[in-house]
Amino acid sequence: MASSSKTEQKKMLILKSSEEEEFEIEESIAVQSGTIKNMVEDDFTLIPLPNVDTETLIKIIKYMKKHGEKTKSNEKDIEEFDKEFVKKSFTELKELVLAANYLHITSLIDLLCQAFADRIKNKSVKAIREIFGIPNDFTPEEEAEVYEQHKWAHEEGKEHIDHSAY
Amino acid sequence: MAGRKRRKMKLLAATAPTAPTIPTAPNNGGASSEEREANEHNSLSRVPAELLEQILCRLNLKENVRASAVCKQWLAASISVRVANKPPWLMFFPKFGDMVEFYDPSVRQTYSVELPELRGSRLCYAKDGWLLLYKPRTLSVFFFNPYTRDVINLPALELTYQIVAFSEAPTSPDCLVFTVKHVSPTLVAISTCNPGATEWTTANYQNRLPFVSSIWNKLVFCNGLFYCLSLTGWLGVYDPEEQTWLVRVVPPPRCPENFFVKNWWKGKFMAEHNGDIYVIYTCSTANPVIYKLDQINKIWVEMQTLGGLTLFASFLSSQARTDILGVMRNSIYFSKVRFYGRRCISYSVDHDRYYPRKQCYDWGEQDPFESIWIDAPPDLSAFN
């Protein structure tokens, strides 16, 4: 792949997904990722990302491009983009947050963590386990103790506890 | 044995794929089989601790506590980010000597410290970690922080038979002290003062409706106004900014018939929380009744539940808290009635009973100046 042309002002980088697919991106946009920024400072232009699959990388690039063009006037526009961006399945969100964490994109980590919090806040314990694929590692006695200590939080009361794993 | 092994393996194999659980909860659809397979193949199906904490720190206390039951990693993460309010402490004023006791209801622990600064004075009010006290001999009025032992003096005033309150900590520039004195059924004298002033400002105000002000009245500061509940349940409101006094046209909270027994005028409490005003009526032969002021419809509404709130009732001033651990929700905490027994008793609104259960609790029997709820200290350095 040709490296950045001398006539262009903007330096380009190449990000390579775990599936070996390559994506060109402006350096000024890519350095929203702390991880990529570090590698650029070490003179890398081809950035291998073995922890990020193609599908997820495409989404992350889309996010960074949108947030790279942030100005005072398009704040509302970016808010809308963010709102739509998190309308994804739990699996996709999980891939994204792990990738964002690995790539050190603070604003994206915040956005995704908030989305997770909003989606799981009314979920039952069993639904949360299903969503995250977490086995119950409490013994029956330990689990009973955890429930007993704060019975009040597990009672349905007036609010609806959601048992679906969507 | 097996349990310990399992735990060790978990620490080492954080990225090992975990077997999906068979869904047992009834759910409409639940996770699709593809999703479950994806979870299985995804070697990072376990979210790392620092990410988990970032998610959990965005939940409120109840949601946080629920999340802690998911698995051990979630239990540890939720506890590490959990933010809960501290309940107030109960301060016991000594009848003799200078030894003041403080009781923390969340851990049932008592602390004591000698406070000679309080000698000869009488408790008046507590708010934001500060006490207001009065010395009848010298007519001196002063603020006292029992933990830092800071004293802020106010100009003298005769306060022997009056109820007095303040809006916020005296260290705040907007702090205002307020007291109301009965002149006649149609006239009250209101005195106000702020820390730093050289004298109190006193003015007379008319009562459009009969209103009796006495030491048995209750005072709270709420939404910029001082609310004063008379013995018979009428509400007088003082606006410090407009300098107006109005007896509100709100029928008194209904006092159940059987509440007119001995000491009926004493077992009353008033508290404020987030702009809402609560009144508690107690009686030795019945369970407490709680009212909340509906400002829009101008009536007191009887509360069957407190929506997660806990009230801490003491004669001179009461407190309210949400999001606390260690004390019960939807409950009222009282100081003990007599010399013996527990320091603190609670009444559960949800379960309609006192803890511990007794024949009767007569809050009218309490010495009104003996104890008061006050904000917990930031640490235990005051007690060494």
pLDDT one-digit tens code per residue, A116-143: 999 988 888 888 888 888 899 999 999 9
What pLDDT shows up at residue A27? 94
DSSP secondary structure code for residue B208 in this structure: S
The neighbour count for residue B39, using CB atoms within 10 Å, is: 24
Q: Report d(CA B119, CA B143) in Å as an integer.
A: 14
Contact call for residues B314 and B371 (beta carbons, < 8 A): yes
Which pLDDT score is estimated for A93? 93
- Of A13, A150, A42, A43, which Cα lies nearest the Cα of B67? A150
The tokens 């969100």 sit on which residue? A93
pLDDT score at A19: 95
Q: Look at residue B16 and tell me whether its pLDDT is greater than 60.
A: no
- Quick check: B265 pLDDT over 90? no
| Tens digit of each residue's pLDDT (9 = 90 or more) over B307-336 | 989 999 999 999 999 989 888 899 999 988
Strand-strand pairing, B353-355 and B344-348: antiparallel
pLDDT in tens, B358-370: 766 888 778 889 9
pLDDT tens digit string along A38-58?
999 999 999 999 999 999 999
Judging by DSSP bridges, how do beta strands B163-166 and B151-154 pair with one another? Answer: unpaired
Structure tokens at B3: 């349990």
Q: Give the per-residue pLDDT at B340.
A: 63
- The pLDDT > 70 percentage for chain B reads 84
* pLDDT at position A8 over 60: no
How far is residue B329's CA from residue B97's CA, in Å, rounded to a whole number? Answer: 36
pLDDT, greater one: B349 or B7: B349
A49: burial class by Cβ within 10 Å (0-12, 13-18, 19+)?
buried
pLDDT tens per residue across span B107-125: 889 999 999 999 999 999 9
Q: Tell me, what's the pLDDT at B130?
A: 98
Tokens (6 digits) for B58:
């965005």
Please tell me the predicted confidence (pLDDT) of residue B7: 42
pLDDT exceeds cutoff 90 at B56: yes
Q: Which residues of B fall within a CB distance of 8 Å from A141?
A: none
Best A18, A108, A116, A131 residue to mutate vs chain B (most B CBs within 10 Å): A116
Please report the pLDDT score of residue B4 as a whole number. 45
For residue B9, pLDDT beyond 60: no
Task: Count Cα atoms within 13 angstroms, Cβ side, for B254.
Answer: 6
Q: What is the distance between the alpha carbons of residues A31 and A21, in angstroms, rounded to a whole number?
A: 19
Mean pLDDT rounded to a whole number for chain B: 85
Q: Which residue has the tokens 């010395």?
A: B135
Q: Per the CB < 8 Å rule, is A128 touching B70?
A: yes
Q: What pLDDT sits at residue B37?
A: 46
Q: Do A124 and B38 touch (CB under 8 A)?
A: no
A149, pLDDT greater than 60: yes
Q: What share of chain B has pLDDT > 90, as a percent? A: 59
The whole-number pLDDT of residue A6 equals: 52
Select the residue from B63, B70, B303, B323 to test the A interface by mutation, using most A Cβ atoms within 10 A.
Answer: B70
If you measure CA to CA, which chain B residue comes closest to A124? B66
Which pLDDT score, from 0 to 100, does residue A5 have?
52
Return the higher-pLDDT residue of B253 and B17. Answer: B253
Query: CB atoms < 10 A from the CB of B129, how many?
Result: 18
Average pLDDT of chain A to the nearest whole number? 88
Q: What is the pLDDT of residue B125?
A: 97
Residues in CB range of B119: below 8 A, 6 or more apart: B98
Q: What is the pTM of this model?
A: 0.75
Q: In this complex, do A154 and B26 lie within 8 Å of one another by their Cβ atoms?
A: no
Q: Cβ separation of A146 and B69 shorter than 8 Å?
A: yes
The β-bridge partners of B123 are B133
Q: What is the mean pLDDT of residues B121-130?
A: 96
Indicate which of B27, B310, B351 best probes the interface with A, i.e. most A CBs within 10 Å of its own CB.
B27
Q: Rounded to a whole number, what is the distance in Å from the CA of B79 to chain A's nearest CA?
A: 12
Dihedral over Cα of B320, B325, B327, B328: its sign: positive
Which strands form B140-144's sheet, in the order they lie side by side? B122-127, B130-135, B140-144, B151-154
Residues of B in contact with A135 (CB under 8 A): 18-19, 21, 71
Cα→Cα distances B239→A84, B172, B236, B242, B303, Å:
48, 19, 10, 6, 27
- pLDDT at B274 exceeding the cut of 80: yes
Query: What pLDDT score was predicted for residue B232?
Result: 85
Which residues in B lie closer than 8 A to residue A129 (C-beta atoms)?
21, 70-71
**pLDDT of B43 higher than 80:** no
Give the residue from A159, A120, A127 showing the smallest Cα distance to B55. Answer: A120
H helix intervals, chain B? 2-12, 33-41, 49-56, 61-67, 72-81
pLDDT tens digits, B135-148: 999 999 999 999 99
- In this prediction, residue B266 carries a pLDDT of 77
Residue B260 pLDDT class (50, 70, 90 cuts): low
CA distance B14 to B11: 6
